Structure formats: structure tokens, C-alpha cells
DNA sequence: GCAGGAAACGGAACGTGGTTCCGATTCACT
DNA sequence: AGTGAATCGGAACCACGTTCCGTTTCCTGC
């Protein structure tokens, strides 16, 4: 992909000796563009943390000290910016899966990771709602999330199922989505809501351990 | 609006055969106002069914053959219109609970009602997302939903718990919210997603039957 | 009937959001 | 330094929910 590594020209260095980055296409990236990109990501992260992912583009641009168009050149849609900001945290979540798998027995690792995942989702106010409501072209956002989180959860599920601790007929993507949607409590309910509901879901996983019956069928049978 | 202390006293039977409706405050309602209200509700229902609850106010007004202001006079906020439209369906859902309780044994009645409730939610595209995202004053909408649906589900839960078929430590409101949130499948997943996930939830309810341990604790215990 | 006035009306106007456009600016390379 | 292109900033545009206000319609007391 990268055709050549670009060395720094000894002209004036705007950002303290930073080597000019290279595009995926091999083009050199202008230092101001790179600087703005960094500022944008940092500002977006700060604003999202403070006001949720519903924060306006103008606010982010202002905080980053750039114009609106600069935002849209780097990120064709608002959702692309959201995805870029959370990419790093998704990666961390994926790494956590491997770590937990080594340090705990299969089911415990699964439960702990689910809680880890819940924390990530819960801290992103409005992420799920935005993802949902954003009908037009929010397709870019779930792509990265799914591509990385699904295999991580799949590994945990397989290990726990192999150990006979949970049923083995659950799709990881469905579980990811379900947990994400359970991570927003309604108003007027204690903060433990999410844990309780996801706890129910996990108990449902355990309920069918070793049976292999689909959840939908199991729920309809008169006697377990 | 200016502060207008209206003191309309006793009315007289107005002209044509249609008896003019009366306000909750006892004021007579103008026939054109009533006609527009009806047209508005009908149009809104049609548009919501066709385009989801995210449909614009202008579209609804146009379909009803009225101006924008007319919408806002009858419904101070968009969410009030949504709530009004769905009030009828909520009532139907509540009635279904009583019917099912008579025709089936407790747990079966509970499961069947949950599926009934899921159908209602699923047919209202974007309802949950709007409810969630609508931070400002979407408080009016859940009020009616909760006030009516919560007791209905509570009765079903009590009956099933008394029969020893499910755990008895689940809050009905939490369950309503959880199911509603599980009723929106992610893109690229079969339509059976919701049934599977709610099935897991129901299995979780059965898992702890007769134990009474909170879901959150049960989910963390090493052995059941 | 009819006239007066309040209730209800329609649609333009406002504020805010995401997105696009375009002239001005800044950078990279010779 | 010079030149062309990549990048920039912010005004402009569109769609949305909501508000304002001049106009119309209906009820009512005569």
C-alpha cells in the first residue's frame, strides 16, 4: 500500500519535527491537513464525552479551531467522525477480550467482558440512539464495530460453550446489539437497570446450556 | 399566548344534528376545531404507519388538509401527537393482558402477552429511538405508556410468579423498556432476532424461578 | 337573521441542525 | 521565490420543529 516513506524536508517544521504522514494512496499529506485532523479528533472526543454524540458539528469545529468544511473534508458524514473517534476504544475493547480469556475461566471471562462492553456503550451517551435513528448512511459506523467486536465475542462464546457453561446457539452480533440496546436505562430507574437486564440475558444463556435448543423455541416450550 | 381568562358559561344547543363536543373544562368546542382534530389524528396515524414516527409535521398537516399552526394548537409538541395517536393501541394492548390471563395458564399468558407487546412496538418504526433521543420534552409520551402498561404486566408477572413459573424479583417497567429496546433488529439480521433475544430474556426469568435471587447477583454467581 | 368578538385558522418566519459551495489561503515542490 | 493545487473558512442551502400574526370562521346574544 504505502509506496514510499516520506522523509522530512528541512524546511520550517510547523509541528515540531513531525514527519509528514502518507496517505493510503501514497500521497504526502500536507502538515496543516494532518494537524487539523488531529485537532478534530481530539476536539470531537472531548465534545462527545461532554455532550454526547448528538453534539453539533459547529461546536466541534469551533473547539478544534477549524471551519465546518474542514470537518466534512476529513469526514464526509457526521457519523464517520463518530466512528473514527470511537475506533480506538473499540480496539481496546477487543484487546480486553483476549486478556480476560487468559485470566479467567470461560464463562467468567465472558461475563466480565460483557460488563466491559457495557461500560463502553454506556459511556457513549446517545451512541445507540444515533446509530439507530441515523437511517441515511450510518452504515459506516457499525461496520467497524461489527468487524472487530464480533470475532472477539465469538471466541469468548465458543470457549464458554465448549466448557458446557452456556448454550451454543447464540449469534455474537445479535448479542452485541441486544446488550447495547439494554445499556440505556429509562428515566426514573436506578443505574443498576442495565446490569439486571443483561443479567437476565446471561441467565437465559445458562438456562439452555447443553441443550442446544434455540432460545425462541425454548421460551415457548411448556416445560424446560 | 396571552393570558386570557376564559369565562364561557352555559352553552346553548348549537344548530345542526351533531351535538358539539365539550372540553374537559366544560367549554364548548367549535365544530371546525373538532373536525380538524379528527382529521389530524387520522392523518398522523396513516403517516406514522407509512413513514415511521419520524415523519415531519408538515407532511401530516398537509395530509390532514390543515395548517401547521393547527397541529400545534391541538398538540403543543410533536410528541403529544405521537402519544395521542398511540393511546388507542396502548389501551388495546392493556385489554389483551386481561383476556390472555383468562384464557391461558399464568406463564403462557405472560409469554403470549409479551409477544403481543412486541408486535405493537415493532410496528411503530422509530418509536423507541424517538422516545430515547427526544431528550427535551418526550416525558409526556412514556407517562401514558407506563401508567397503563405497567399494571397490566405487573398482574401477569404476579400470577406467573405465584405459580412458581418465574422469578418474582423483576420490575415490570424495566421489562417493558428492555423488551421495547430488543424489538429493533440491527440491519443484516433476520426478523427472528427480536424473538430470539426476548426468548433469552424469558429463559432468564425462568432460570431463577423459586430462588428469588436478583438477576444481577444470579448472573455473577459461579454456580446456580 | 345579523353583527360582534373571540376561537381557530393558514402559512410565513425563526432558530437550529447537517451538508454543500466557492473564493481566499496555505503548503509542497521546482 | 514562484506556481499550481490541496486545503481552508464561513456563508449559503435545505429540512426540521416551533412560534407569530394577520385573516377567517364559528358561536352567541340580540
Per-residue buried b or exposed e for A61-70, using 16+ beta carbons within 10 Å of the residue's own CB: bebbebeeeb
Q: Which of B208, B205, B184, B187 is nearest to A178 (CA)?
A: B184
A145 and A87 in one domain?
Answer: yes
Pairwise CB contact (< 8 Å): B193 & A201: no
* pLDDT tier, B66 (very low <50, low <70, confident <90, very high otherwise): very high
Dist CA A137 CA A90 (whole Å):
20
| Interface contact B181-A177, CB threshold 8 A | no
A11 lies in some domain: no
Domain assignment present for A10: no
Same domain, B57 and B151: no
What is the per-residue pLDDT for B90? 93
Distance from CA of B71 to the nearest CA of A (A): 24
Higher pLDDT, B121 or A8: B121
pLDDT value for B181? 92
| Regions of chain A short of the pLDDT cut 50 | 1-19, 135, 210, 212-224
Rounded CA Rg of chain B: 22
- Is B5 within a domain? no
> What total number of domains does chain B contain?
2
Cell of B149: 402498561
Same domain, B90 and B158: yes
In degrees, rounded to 5, the angle at the alpha carbon of residue A108 between the alpha carbons of residues A102 and A109 is 40
Q: Is residue A150 domain-resident? A: yes
Whole-Å CA distances, A66 to A34, A90, A217, B31, B176: 12, 27, 55, 56, 45
Same domain, yes or no: B86 and B184: yes
Output the pLDDT for position B31.
95
In a domain, B6, yes or no: no
B171 plus B208 within the same structural domain: yes
Domain of residue A209 covers 79-220
Domain boundary among B12, B40, B74: B74
Least Cα distance to B181 among B109, B133, B219 occurs for: B133
When pLDDT is cut at 50, 70 and 90, the band that residue B191 belongs to is confident
pLDDT digits (tens, 9 = 90+) for B31-57: 999 999 999 999 999 999 999 888 999
Choose among A84, A199, A53, A34: nearest CA to B203. A199
- Extract the C-alpha cell encoding A4: 514510499
Q: In this structure, are residues B118 and B201 in contact, taking their beta carbons and an 8 Å threshold?
A: no
Residue B59 has pLDDT above 70, yes or no: yes
**What's the pLDDT score for residue A20?**
53
Residue A128 and residue A188 share a domain: yes
Answer yes or no: do A187 and B220 touch at CB < 8 A. no
Measured between CA atoms, how close is B51 to chain A, in angstroms?
12
pLDDT score of B11: 34
The secondary structure of A186-205 as a DSSP string is: PTTS-TTHHHHHHHHHHHHH
Task: Name the domain boundary from A74, A106, A137.
Answer: A74
Q: Answer with the one of B74, B89, B114 that is the final residue of a domain.
A: B74
Statement: residue B152 has pLDDT above 80: yes
B15 falls within a domain: no
Residue pair A121/A179 in contact by the 8 Å Cβ criterion: yes
pLDDT of residue B65: 97
Q: What is residue B138's predicted lDDT score, i.e. its pLDDT?
A: 62
Q: Which three cell numbers stand for residue A105?
A: 475461566
Same structural domain for residues A167 and A146?
yes
CATH at residue A87: 1.10.357.10
Shared-domain flag, residues A61 and A111: no
For strand D, give the nucleotides within 7 A of a protein CB: 6-12, 15-21, 25-29
Whole-number Å distance between alpha carbons of A72 and A57:
9
In this prediction, residue B187 carries a pLDDT of 76
Cβ neighbourhood burial of A77 (10 Å; 0-12, 13-18, 19+): middle
Kindly state whether residues B70 and B85 are assigned to the same domain: no
What's B66's domain CATH number? 1.10.10.60
Encode pLDDT of B160-185 as tens digits. Answer: 999 999 998 899 999 999 999 999 88
CB neighbours of residue B6 within 10 Å: 7
Q: How far is the CA of A29 from the C1' of D6 (A)?
A: 9
Q: Within this chain, do residues B196 and B137 fall inside the same structural domain, yes or no?
A: yes
Q: What is the pLDDT of residues B9-33, one digit of tens each?
A: 233 333 333 445 666 666 678 999 9
- Do B215 and B191 lie in one domain? The reply is yes
Domain assignment present for residue A58? The answer is: yes
Mean pLDDT for B75-85 is 92
Q: What is the DSSP letter of B28?
A: B
Residue A196 CB neighbours (<10 A): 26
A211-221 tens-digit pLDDT: 544 444 444 33
Residue B185 placed within a domain: yes
- Phi, psi angle pair for A22, to nearest 5°: -125, 140
B156 and B189 inside one domain: yes
Judged by DSSP in three states, A28 sits in strand
- H or E segment to which residue A121 belongs: helix A106-123
Interval B129-140 mean pLDDT: 62
Amino acid at each position: 500500500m504505502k509506496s514510499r516513506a516520506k522523509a522530512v524536508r528541512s524546511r520550517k517544521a510547523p509541528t515540531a519535527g513531525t514527519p509528514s504522514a502518507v496517505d493510503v494512496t501514497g500521497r504526502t499529506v500536507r502538515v496543516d491537513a494532518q494537524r487539523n485532523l488531529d485537532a478534530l479528533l481530539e476536539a470531537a472526543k472531548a465534545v462527545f464525552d461532554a455532550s454526547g454524540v448528538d453534539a453539533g458539528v459547529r461546536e466541534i469545529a469551533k473547539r478544534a479551531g477549524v471551519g465546518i468544511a474542514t470537518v466534512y473534508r476529513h469526514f464526509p458524514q457526521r457519523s464517520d467522525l463518530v466512528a473514527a473517534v470511537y475506533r480506538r476504544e473499540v480496539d481496546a475493547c477487543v484487546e480486553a477480550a483476549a486478556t480476560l480469556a487468559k485470566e479467567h475461566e470461560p464463562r467468567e471471562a465472558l461475563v466480565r467482558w460483557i460488563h466491559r462492553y457495557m461500560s463502553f456503550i454506556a459511556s457513549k451517551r446517545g451512541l445507540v440512539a444515533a446509530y439507530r435513528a441515523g437511517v441515511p448512511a450510518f452504515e459506516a459506523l457499525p461496520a467497524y464495530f461489527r468487524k472487530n467486536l464480533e470475532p472477539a465475542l465469538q471466541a469468548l462464546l465458543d470457549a464458554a460453550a465448549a466448557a458446557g457453561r452456556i448454550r451454543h446457539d447464540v449469534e455474537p452480533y445479535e448479542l452485541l446489539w441486544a446488550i447495547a440496546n439494554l445499556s440505556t436505562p429509562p428515566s426514573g430507574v436506578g443505574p443498576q437497570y442495565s446490569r439486571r437486564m443483561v443479567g437476565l440475558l446471561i441467565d437465559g444463556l445458562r438456562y439452555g446450556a447443553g441443550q442446544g435448543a434455540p432460545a425462541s423455541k425454548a421460551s415457548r416450550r411448556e416445560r424446560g
